Structure 1
Amino acid sequence: MSEFKCALCLTQITEENNTNEHIIPNSIGGRKKIRNFICNECNNKTGENWDSELAKNFAPFCTMFGIKKDRGDVPPLRVKTISGIEYKQFEDGTFQPLNPSLNVIAKEEKGFDISIQARTPDEAQRMLEGVQKKYKLKEESIKPLKEQIAVKDFYLDEPIVHNFSFDAEKSGRSTIKSALALAASGGINPFDCNLAIDFLTNRGEPNFGYYDCNNDLVKNRELGLPFHCIYINAIKETGQILAYIEYFGFQRIVACMSNNYLGETNQILYAINPMTGEEIDIIIELNFTPDQIKKIYDYEMYKPESVRVSFGHIMDRAISYSREREFHRVFNKAVAYANQFHDISLSHEQNCHLKAEKIIESLQPYIKNLIKAP
C-alpha cells in the first residue's frame, strides 16, 4: 500500500487514483508536475473550480504574451472595446468579430450596396445567399460579390478594455495549492503545512496576503519579464513555512503555510518564463516575522503606487512583444502571398520586383495602422 495520502481529502494514493498535478497551472504556462500529492478526483475538482478561475483571471495576459501549454492552444479571449463592440482575440494577436454584420442599402436607381463582415468565408457565402433570396436577385448579379470574398487583416479603431480581478475563494486556493505542491515536491510533508491545509479544506481562514512595496523580494528581477515563481522557505528556528508566489511579474503574494513546523530548514524555488517554458534563476529573500505577516494580511505592505509601477513594466513589455509579434506575422504572411506570383516570361529581377510589389500590397493594412497609431 502507498505511504502517500491525498493532501486534500486524505484518500490513500494508489496506482489507480494517482495523478500528475501541475505545480503552477498549465493553463498559465506551468510545466513542472508532481505525483503522489493529490488524488485524481481532487485534481479534477480543483482544476475545474480553482485553477480554471485563476486561468480566467489571467486570460488577457496569456493572450497578450502568447503563453504556450503542454497540449492545445490558448483559447480565444472574448474582449470588448470601449464603445462595447465585442471580438474574439486569438493568441497570435489577431481579432475576429464576435458577431457577423450585414448592411444592405437600396440605391435610388436600381441596385443595392451590400457590406458584409463575417467570421469565415463560408459564413460570408451563406449571408450573400440570404441576401440573394430575400431580395430575389439573379445569380449573375450576386456572383461578382461571391468572387470578392476574401480573408483580410483589419485593426481595431479603438482600445479594448480588460478587467483584472483575483479572488481568495478560488484563485487564492489555486495559488496556495500550488505552493503546497512545490513544498511537497521539495520533500516537505504537505501535512506539516497546517495553515495551508486548513484553508484549502475550509477549516481555516485564508493564509496569504498581497505584497508589493519598495522592498522587492526578488533581488535580481528583470524589469518587465512576465515570469511566474513560487518560493518556499521552511525555517526550523521559527517554526514557519513561508511562501512567495508571483504571477506574470506583478501579482505578488506572501503566505504563511505553517506556524508550527518542526522539520529541517529548507528552501525550494520554481521560477519559469511562461512564454518559453524555460526555468529561470532568480534570488528571493523571504523572512518575515509573525507581526510582519499580519501586516501583509492587513494590506499594510501593499502600496498602490508600487503595484502601478510593477504593472506598468509588464504592460510595456506586452506592448513591445505584441508589436514585434504582429510585424513577424504580417511580414511572413505577405511573403507567402507574394510567392504565389511568378511569371516565367519575366526575368529573375523582374519577378523579384513583382513580388516586392505584392509584399507592399499585402502590408497595406499594417502600414496604415502604423501611420495612424499615436
Structure 2
Amino acid sequence: MDKEDSYKVCAFCNVDLVGQSRSQEHVIPNSIGGRLKTAEFICARCNNTKGDSWDSELAQQLNWFSLSLGITRERGLPPGQLVNTVDGRQYTLLPDGSFSPKSSYSEELVDGKKRIHIVAASVREAKKRLSGVAKKHPTFNLEQALSELEIQTAYLDSPLTVELSLGGKASGRSLVKTALAFASYCRVPHREFGKALDYLLDAQAEPPYGHAYLSDLVINRDSKTIFHCVALKSDSDKNRLWSYIEYFGMFRVLVLINDNYVGPVIDETYAINPITGEEIEVEVNSNIADEEFIKVISGYGIDPVVQRAAADLALPILIERSEQRTLEGAVRAGFAYAAKTLGIAEGEEIPIERAKEFTALMMEKITPYLSHLIRSNRQHL
C-alpha cells in the first residue's frame, strides 16, 4: 500500500490502520486541552515514537498558560512548573493555580542556641524534614514540633518573570501534525499532504509554517474568550491547501500543507475553549492576501504591533482567570477551615445559631487574599 490509500494506512509509515495499529490521535494535543480525535491519520507506533514527543515539547512551552488558566484535559493534570519573581524568589506553579515555595533548610546560631529554618512545599515534606532534624539533633522535641505544624498562606507581592515562546524542531512538528490530523479528520487524502508531510518525515526539510502576526485572521474574535483553533482552507486559484492554528489566543501560526493541491474546496474550522472543554464558533478569514501568506511562510510574519495586540488581548483574560481561581481557592480553604473548627461534617448543614461564627472563621482565611488585592490595586494606581 502507499499514500494513495488514505484512511486505511498510516500517513507516516503506510502500515494498515487496523487492530492495535489503529490510533486515536488528538487533533489539538490533549496536553493543552484538545478533545477532537481522528483514527485515520497515523498508527499507534508512529504516534508513540514521534507524535508524543513533539506534543510533549509543545505542551512544555505552553505549560504556564495551561496552569494559569486551569485547562481541562481528558487525562491527568498539567505538571507543576518552576517560576521566578522579579525579586528573585522561586516557586512552583501548581495545577490549581496556587504557588508552592521552593523548599529550603538552614541552621544558624542565635544567642548560643541553634535556630533551624525550614520551608516545605507540603505538610508531608515538612514532617519528613522535621523527622530528619530529630535524628540529627536528639534533643529536638519532634512531637511538639509536629503538633505546632501549620500551613501558612501568603500571596505574591512581586511580579513573575515569564518567558513565552513557541517553536523549535519538536513543537514545530507538533503544529504541523495538528494541521495534518485535522486535514485527515476532514477526509483529505494523504496524497494531498504535500510539503507538510515531507517536513514531518524528513529532519532536514524546511519548515512549512510561520508565525502569523501581520493581521488578525479571526473574524469574529470574542475579546473575553481564550480559545484553541485549527482551520483548514483551500485556495483554488493558487492550488494551495493551508491551515491556521491558534493556541491560547496568543500563539498564531500558518501552515502551508500543499502548494499543488487539486482536491475539492475546503473551508473547515474547529475551536475549543480549553478551560471548559466546550467547542465554540470561530470564523477564520479565508481571503488572506497572497503577499501576507508568503511573508508568513517565509518567516517574516511578525508585526510587533499586531503581536503586542495579541498579548494585550490574551494576558488580561489570563490574569482575571488566575485571580478568580485564587479567590475560589481562598473561599474553599475558608469553608473547610470553618467546618473543621466547628466540627461540621462534609455535606452537613450549618446550624443557624452558628452561622455568624462560621462566617467569621471563613473570613480569617479569606481576608489575607482580600488585603493582598487591595495592596496590589493601590500599587497600580
TM norm structure 2: 0.88
2:359 equivalent to 1:353: no
Structure 2 equivalent of residue 165 of structure 1? 165
Structure 2 equivalent of residue 16 of structure 1? 20
Structure 2 equivalent of residue 218 of structure 1? 218
2:56 equivalent to 1:55: no
Structure 2 distance, partners of 1:136, 1:287, is 76
Deviation by residue 1:188-241 (Cα, 9 ceiling, x = unmatched): 11221211111111163111111113x321111011422111111123343110
Structure 1 distance, partners of 2:259, 2:82, is 42
Structure 2 equivalent of residue 371 of structure 1? 374
Structure 1 equivalent of residue 233 of structure 2? 233
Which of 115, 125, 128 lines up with 1:126 in the alignment? Answer: 128
- Cα offset, 1:169, TM superposition: 1.2
Between the aligned residues of both structures, percent identity stands at: 32
Please tell me the residue identity of whatever aligns with 1:351: R
- Cα offset, 1:44, TM superposition: 0.7
Structure 2 distance, partners of 1:329, 1:199, is 45
- Cα offset, 1:113, TM superposition: 4.4
Segment drifting more, 200-209 vs 221-230 = 200-209
Deviation by residue 1:245-275 (Cα, 9 ceiling, x = unmatched): 1111111111221111111111121111111
CA 1:98–1:348 in structure 2 vs 1: closer, same or farther (change >3 Å)? closer
CA 1:284–1:126 in structure 2 vs 1: closer, same or farther (change >3 Å)? closer
- Cα offset, 1:58, TM superposition: 0.4
Please tell me the residue identity of whatever aligns with 2:165: S
| Structure 2 segments unaligned to the other structure (5+ residues) | 345-349
- Report if aligned partners of 1:235, 1:264 keep a CA contact under 8 Å in 2: no
Where do residues 234-253 of structure 1 align in structure 2 (5 Å cutoff)? 234-253=234-253
Structure 2 equivalent of residue 115 of structure 1? 117
Structure 1 distance, partners of 2:211, 2:257, is 15
Structure 2 equivalent of residue 80 of structure 1? 84
2:197 equivalent to 1:197: yes
Structure 1 equivalent of residue 35 of structure 2? 31
- Report if aligned partners of 2:216, 2:306 keep a CA contact under 8 Å in 1: no
Structure 1 distance, partners of 2:228, 2:67, is 16
- Cα offset, 1:287, TM superposition: 3.2
Structure 1 equivalent of residue 347 of structure 2? none
Where do residues 185-334 of structure 1 align in structure 2 (5 Å cutoff)? 185-202=185-202, 204-213=205-214, 215-288=215-288, 291-334=291-334
- Cα offset, 1:341, TM superposition: 3.7
- Cα offset, 1:146, TM superposition: 2.1
SS of the residue corresponding to residue 262 of structure 1 reads coil
- Cα offset, 1:285, TM superposition: 1.2
CA 1:173–1:349 in structure 2 vs 1: closer, same or farther (change >3 Å)? closer
- Cα offset, 1:291, TM superposition: 4.5
Structure 1 distance, partners of 2:23, 2:33, is 19
- Cα offset, 1:176, TM superposition: 0.9
Please tell me the residue identity of whatever aligns with 1:278: E
Please tell me the residue identity of whatever aligns with 1:367: L
Kindly report the root-mean-square deviation, in angstroms, between the aligned alpha carbons of the 2 structures. 2.4
Structure 2 distance, partners of 1:273, 1:122, is 35
| Structure 1 segments unaligned to the other structure (5+ residues) | none
CA 1:122–1:28 in structure 2 vs 1: closer, same or farther (change >3 Å)? closer
- Cα offset, 1:350, TM superposition: 5.0
Please tell me the residue identity of whatever aligns with 1:14: V
Structure 1 distance, partners of 2:371, 2:186, is 53
